[in-house]
Amino acid sequence: MKDKETIEYVSTELLVPFKDHPFQLRDGEEKEQLLESIKSQGTIEPLIVRPSFPAGKYEIISGHRRMEACKELGIKNVPVIVRNLTDEQAAIAMADANLHRDNILPSEKAFAYKMKLEAVKKQGQRTDLTSSQRDTKFRSDEQIAKSFGIGKETLHRYIRLTHLISELLAMVDEGRIALTPASELSYLTESQQKALYDEIEYTQATPSLSQAQRLRSLSRQCRLSRDAVYAIMSEEKANQKEQVRFKVEDLRGFFPKNYTPKDMIETIFKLLNEYRNHTLARKAKEREER
């Protein structure tokens, strides 16, 4: 009979993050809610960890955000459940524990899906620790996609994002470039992607799916020059609407260091709504006083 798992309390100094894990604790409303929850209730849900090297340390499988929040709050000891897992089992468990959360960035999904797929292939196409013999007849990518309620093509589009340069990947996270065109752009060479990013910044327009496909096609033919990138990106889109844009670096000084562009936009709209409501209330009061 398997021994019952027990909860232990260990020092945060003994906890090390899972190598190359993509999940981060970002500033914003989600972080504030997590901090408030821990302050009022404590870390109720234990972290999942495994013994690590050097001896005496523990590698976090699930709970990186909680651990970072506890450190920020000055909490020295946190509850953990220790499991002995292989590298592949740990990678799969880490991905599964985080990918079902809300508000996951496309880049986080991309690297987590990639880590899980590589681990599953090394395991021999097992998709979890309790897979039956019947499951092995499925391709590992099909089984993983099914477990997350997405198609195999969508899974591979996310994984292709790991081939984007950081500047373009950030635009995907910001919602400026959609998943499908982004996956097409991932086939461009690094220098071609940098040329595209420069053009995006200059034109303040991102490529449509059709444009992304043509950029990929020219790249495959070794014909994608800077002039070709300029020609494609200079085209006016039929559905292009007038927009007001700010560069992230121009806004950075007004927000906490780790705010994402999405957090900035949400805060700006919140402040604009407050300003509008304040203005409407002031005008209503002035009318009453006349």
**Confidence grade of residue 209 (pLDDT, cut at 50, 70, 90):** very high
For residues 82-102, average pLDDT: 88
- Arithmetic mean of pLDDT over the chain: 84
216 has pLDDT over 60:
yes
Q: Quick count: other Cβ atoms within 10 Å of Cβ 128?
A: 16
**Confidence grade of residue 136 (pLDDT, cut at 50, 70, 90):** very low
CA–CA separation, 89 and 86 (whole Å): 5
Residue 114 DSSP code? H
131 has pLDDT over 60:
no
Question: Greater confidence, 195 or 252?
Answer: 195
Strand order in the sheet with 57-62: 7-11, 77-82, 47-52, 57-62, 15-16
203 has pLDDT over 90:
no
CA-based nearest residue to 156, from 120, 190, 184, 189: 184
Q: What is the tens place of the pLDDT at every residue in 14-37?
A: 999 888 888 876 666 777 888 888
Asked if 80 and 48 touch (Cβ cutoff 8 Å), the reply is yes
Answer CATH for 1-84 from 3.60.21.10, 3.90.1170.40, 3.90.1530.10, 3.30.360.10 = 3.90.1530.10
CA-based nearest residue to 14, from 53, 62, 72: 53
Which residues, 6 or more positions from 95, have their beta carbon under 8 angstroms from its beta carbon?
112, 113, 115, 116, 119
% of the chain surpassing 70 pLDDT = 87
Please tell me the pTM assigned to this model.
Answer: 0.71
Q: What is the tens place of the pLDDT at every residue in 116-130?
A: 999 998 887 444 444
4 has pLDDT over 70:
no
CA–CA separation, 157 and 216 (whole Å): 14
Strands 7-11, 47-52: pairing is unpaired
Q: Tell me the Cα Rg of the chain.
A: 24
Q: How do the domains of the chain map onto residue ranges?
A: 1-84, 87-127+139-163, 165-233
Q: What is the pLDDT of residue 244?
A: 63
Residue linked to tokens 């946190």? 78
For residues 178-195, average pLDDT: 97
Q: What is the pLDDT of residue 132?
A: 46
Q: Quick count: other Cβ atoms within 10 Å of Cβ 207?
A: 24
Helix (H) or strand (E) holding 37: helix 29-41
Question: Greater confidence, 117 or 257?
Answer: 117
Q: What is the tens place of the pLDDT at every residue in 37-81?
A: 888 887 678 999 999 877 789 999 988 888 888 888 888 899 999
CA–CA separation, 40 and 31 (whole Å): 14
Q: What is the pLDDT of residue 199?
A: 92
